[in-house]
Structure formats: C-alpha cells, structure tokens
Amino acid sequence: MQDDALLAQAQAWLAEDPDPDTREELTRLLDAGDQAELAARFGGTLQFGTAGLRGELGAGPLRMNRSVVIRAAAGLAAYLKKQGHTDGLVVIGYDARHKSQTFAQDTAAVMTGAGLRAAVLNRPLPTPVLAFAIRHLGAVAGVEVTASHNPPRDNGYKVYLGDGSQIVPPADAEIAAEITAVGSLTTVPRPTEGWETLDDTVLDAYLARTTHVLAENSPRTARTVYTAMHGVGKDTLLAAFARAGFPAPALVAEQADPDPEFPTVAFPNPEEPGAMDLAFAKARETDPDLVIANDPDADRCAAAVKDGADWRMLRGDEVGALLAAHLVRRGATGTFAESIVSSSLLGRIAEKAGLPYEETLTGFKWIARVEGLRYGYEEALGYCVDPDGVRDKDGITAALLLTELASELKEDGRTLLDLLDDLALEHGLHATDQLSVRVRDLGVITSAMRRLREQPPTELAGLRITRAEDLTGGTEKLPPTDGLRYTLEGARVIVRPSGTEPKLKCYLEVVVPVASRAGLPEARTRAAALLGRIKQDLSEAAGI
C-alpha cells in the first residue's frame, strides 16, 4: 500500500537537496516506489547528541548527507549566536571519507552566512589537530567531519566548543533544538566564499607541541611498525616521530594512505578481528620493538607487542596502565581520570602515587572536563596525555609517549610485558574483556536492557553480586546515563548501549591477587576462565 505522506516527504526533500548524488539516489527510489527503502531514510531523523551526528551516507533525514549537515551547521550557528558569539571563529576539520570535504565546506558556508567567521583546515588531518586548533586560534567552536572507526558507508559530525572539548549536556540538547527549528534549506544563507582556508601553520604548531609529552633527553631507540588503517594519520605521525628523533616507523604499505573504501579491513578499527593482520605480517618481517596503529581519524592509538613467538594486541586497559605508570615514574602531578568502563587499575596506580583520581561517564567529552586533568584514558584505545595541548584523545601523542616508554625499557633489556607483570605484582592482576553484540535491530538492545532491569542476576560465574546500580538516575558523582553496573566479589561488570554504533557493550573486569612472579601464569589462567564464565552467564541473563 502506498504511503502518500512518506512520498510527499521524500519529494519535498528532493526539491531542496543540494547534492546531485543523493538527488539521483532518491529519484531512483521514488521511481521504483521502494517503500521499504524510503521508510528507512524518512522514518525519523538522525539524533544530534553528545557524539554529534553519525550515520550511513545517503538521502533523507536518517542518513548523513549535505542537507542534514547544512541543518546541523545552521543550528550550531544559531546556538553560538545566542551564546553571544555573534562574530566568533569556528574552525573546521575533516577526514578522508566520502563527502567529508564537501560537508566541511558546507559548514564553512553556513557559518559565514550566519555572520560568524569560519576557517577550514587545508586537507584531511587527524581529529586531534582540529581539537588543538580550536584553542590555538581562539575559536568559539570547532567541527570535525569524521565517522572515526565506523564502516566505510558512514560519516559523522563532531562538535567542540571553545574550551576544545566535545559538547556535553545541556549544550547538545540546546543545539539539537536549534537544528529542529531550521526551516527550509532555502532560508539558510550559504555564500560561495568568505571563509579562510588555513595553511600549515596550525599543523606546525600542533607538531611543535607534540614533543612536550616526552622527557628531555629520554631514549628514542624503539623501532616500530605503523599502520594508519587507511586513514589520515600517516603524515602527521611520521612528522611527529621525526621531530622527536625516533627511528622512522616501518609502514604497512597497504594501509598507509587514505582510502574511503577501507579495502583491507571489514571495519577500520584496530580492535576488530583481522584489522591488524597486515601489521602483524609486517612485524614478522621487520622484528620491531612495538607495533602502533591509529584509527582512521588518528584520535585513537592501538599497540601490539611480541608475546612468545608471535604478536598480540595490547588491550586498551593495558596501554592505559602502562602510560599511567610511565607518567608516575616521570613525576607527573595532577588528576588521573578514566571512564567507568575502563580498568580500576588506574585508580590503584594513582592512589599508590598519591595522585587525585576521578571516574567519569563514557566518552572523552567527560574525561576532558575533569578539573586539574593530567592524564585521562578510556579502554577503547583513547588516551589524553597532553591536556594542555589537546583536551581530547590523541593517537599521535599517545604513540609518541608509548614509544618513549618502550625505548626506556629497551635500554634496560626489558619490554612492555615486563612492566605489565610488575603492575600485576604490585596491584593484583587486573584482567578485562568485553562482550560486544552488534545488531541490525536496535530493539534487541532495548530488550536486553529491559530484561536485565526486570530480572537482574544475583551472581555471575559463581561470584555474588554485592551491588547492582541502575545508572539512569545518576549517582553521587555521575550524571544519568543508560547503563547498569554490577560489583561482584573480585570483579566488576558494566552494561551499556554504545553511543556511536548499533552495539550493546558489556565491560568485564576481574582482579586476581598475585603473590609472586611465578604465580602470574596461574593467575592469568584463572582470570581468563572467570571472564569466560562471566561472559556466558551475562549473555544468558541479557538474552543475547
């Protein structure tokens, strides 16, 4: 049966769509009378939130396209003007995905048309360069066009305010309200000129800042293999490594240059199975001290080490603890912070060092706002090691700091794994894992969360749940969020829907005491078994 309202909505969208590609796509769907595909594009709108916008490219309000971006930019401009920034500067960056440069130029045009000043980075660059540029240039806001590590068909729109941090409530809801208030696109002025295209001065300033994360005269000898995962990190990372005096990384040639199709990986995320296979192959050829990977917009940093005869990824929590221990040894002061889904080991490291420590909700938009922040990390490969330079995760400076640590250990005939053993002996073995379920139907996630709330488990893997918290009401220290937290005897579990992907994510941690170095293998075996049983029991409890 034909849905006349749906057809009318699609035809109205088509009439003002500025992009010939999406106009062609929508015309085909209308000509074919494809009700299902039209409904998939026009059955709602992409929701603007604390992650900005992210979604699949295509025509309609439920896809990422020029019309959606122009409305988002117009809403952001209206919000900024209501905040008193009537002629403030908005700096705009973009990655190398399909349509990213076009979306950046549309944003610049809208800002200029609204009476604001706009400046666009001159080529695809890492997200941390944009985050740095905001404060470096004294901008009132920044926009990064990126879908980070999402699949090739996606793009996104990340918004920062003048403090260089991503937006948090209530700014997200206020900007969303302004976006909703935008009428026809014909009412949005979009001049064809009037904004500035930045030269390399900002990038040079960022690169000059990167060496601040390193200790003066520290060893710089570690040899690395590097993959940019088909993203924009290569040139910036190579320049940062050269400036710091590290050996030039051996590149994974197949993934070195930007390619919006991401041809060698199913998902361009170092955490995904198979994504690091080419990097491991390169490591087997060259025998480096460390493998480093950035995600496509280079705000995340992954690392792998030789463990026995072959290479393995370090978990984000392991890298987080290693960087923390390195900073403590160097005499760092200030607050160490992490999100609630990250390992509790950071808190123990900070406590032993006599440093302030804070937990936040998931996302660097929260971590970056911790007062007196010196170091922050999140288990999803995000590390903020220079908050005075970049108040966000930064995969370039994290790679520098980790390579410095590997160099120092190498000078002593030791490795990152040796330091992880030291931390386990000092604080107990903190082992983490994740149960992550990608869905097509978001109702699966809603159903799982409802089931856990209505029929909460009382134990997992034979460990009694001593405290169960529904985080929707917030806690004394945390704002409200859609999540559940279980504290067990020697373990912890957090369950939450992903904010950027169609996933239900369950974060698991067990802590096993270790009496001696000889006891480490047995402790790791026990921890792995406990994590496996927790994962199985939680899966059954959630019905996933």
Q: Which of 67, 148, 165, 339 is catalytic?
A: 148
Q: In whole angstroms, how far apart are CA 111 and each of 76, 102, 322, 487, 543?
A: 9, 14, 42, 47, 47
Helices H / strands E in the chain, number of each: 17, 21
Nearest to 288 by CA among 303, 300, 302, 274: 303
How many Å apart are CA 112 and CA 123, to the nearest integer? 20
Nearest to 430 by CA among 538, 315, 338: 315
How many Å apart are CA 298 and CA 314, to the nearest integer? 17
Give the distance between the most distant pair of CA atoms in the chain: 74
- Report phi then psi at 464, rounded to 5: -70, 135
**Residue 127 contacts residue 104 (beta carbons within 8 Å):** no
Q: How close are the terminal C-alpha atoms of the chain, in Å?
A: 34
**Residue 297 contacts residue 95 (beta carbons within 8 Å):** yes
How many Å apart are CA 425 and CA 196, to the nearest integer? 55
Catalytic (active site) residue 148: yes
- Report phi then psi at 528, rounded to 5: -60, -40
Beta-bridge mates of residue 377 = 338, 383
Residues labelled as active-site residues: 148
